[in-house]
Amino acid sequence: MGIMEERTTEVAQAFQHVVRGCDPEATLQFATVLVRVFAIREDSVTLDQVATKEQLAETNNRFDSLEETVNKRFEELVKFTGQRIEDVIEFANRRFDDVNLRFDDVNKRFEEQTASFNRRFEEQTASFNRRFEDFNRRFEDFNRRFEEQTANFNQRFEEQAANTNRRFEEQLTNTNQRFSDMHRRLTQMMWMVGLLVGSINVFIILSTFL
């Protein structure tokens, strides 16, 4: 492989690396033109070899033709690159629109979930409030019934205590009365025994003297 083929291949690979997606054949042709413009070939043309006016004119014509070809290829590359940029921008816009649609869908679902959560929270709060009010009502009923039961118990306890005290006082009075009666009877019996003993003693004494 000659110098021109090697340099052409190198330039083509460089353009393929820089401008991705470009036509390989067009890139190779463009690289060939560049190599020829810079006279990189096996029989490189030097100023010493261009001796005659005919050779100089031919060289100028070839240079003009090559320059025109280079400009044409360059315009094609610019057009292709611009089209690629527009395609990339269009693709990015489509992706951005898709992202916006997905974001709108996410926002919509989030709003729906938020509304559902708020509705359920309000329902749970209302249910809790109803249950709490019912509990308060039952607690108030229990307090009222407890106070009534306590009042009834206190009243019954006071009545029972009064009855017990009255019965105890009655029993105590009866016991005292019975004890007094027994004491009086015992005293009477003692007096009677004393009188009897005294009478017997008097009778004995009188019998002794008589």
pLDDT tens per residue across span 2-51: 555 665 565 555 555 545 555 566 556 665 656 555 544 444 444 444 44
Domains contained in the chain, number: 1
Is residue 101 situated within a structural domain?
A: yes
- Inter-CA distances, 54 with 36, 37, 59, 61, 185, Å: 19, 19, 8, 10, 187
Let me know if residue 50 belongs to a domain: yes
63 contact partners, CB below 8 Å, separation of at least 6: 37
Structural tokens at position 12 = 């083509």
Structural domain includes residue 163:
no
Residue 7 lies in a domain: yes
Give the model confidence (pLDDT) of 125-164 as tens digits: 999 999 999 999 999 999 999 999 999 999 999 999 999 9
Domain that holds residue 63: 3-118
72 domain residue, yes or no? yes
Q: Which range, of 35-39, 88-92, 189-193, averages the lowest pLDDT?
A: 35-39
Does residue 181 sit within a domain?
Answer: no
Res 47: pLDDT: 43
**Does residue 152 form part of some domain?**
no
Residue-wise DSSP of 82-94: HHHHHHHHHHHHH
Say which residues have a Cβ less than 8 Å from residue 12's Cβ, sequence separation at least 6.
Answer: 24, 27, 28, 30, 31
Query: Is 178 among the domain residues?
Result: no
- Note whether 40 and 4 are within 8 A (CB): yes
